[in-house]
Structure 1
């Protein structure tokens, strides 16, 4: 899997618990989404 960030593992686990995934592609999309959401949250917190 590409794009996994070790610091984000708790966020990945949370996403995996909340949703049922049946394919690797769906899991990879969840990872991309988590990466994007965390990056946006970090950027917003720096702006505050």
Structure 2
């Protein structure tokens, strides 16, 4: 949960996150899929894993 806040503090990744949220809402995906996708994105940022 804290890792999510750290990622959202970064400007480019925050824009990417908002873009993903808007896209998923437009395609009407479930919130579980959104959270799973975000976890996948967070794993791609090794800086926030520690």
Fold shared per TM-score above 0.5: no
Q: TM-score, normalised by structure 2?
A: 0.40
Higher helix share: 2
TM-score, normalized by length of structure 1? 0.41
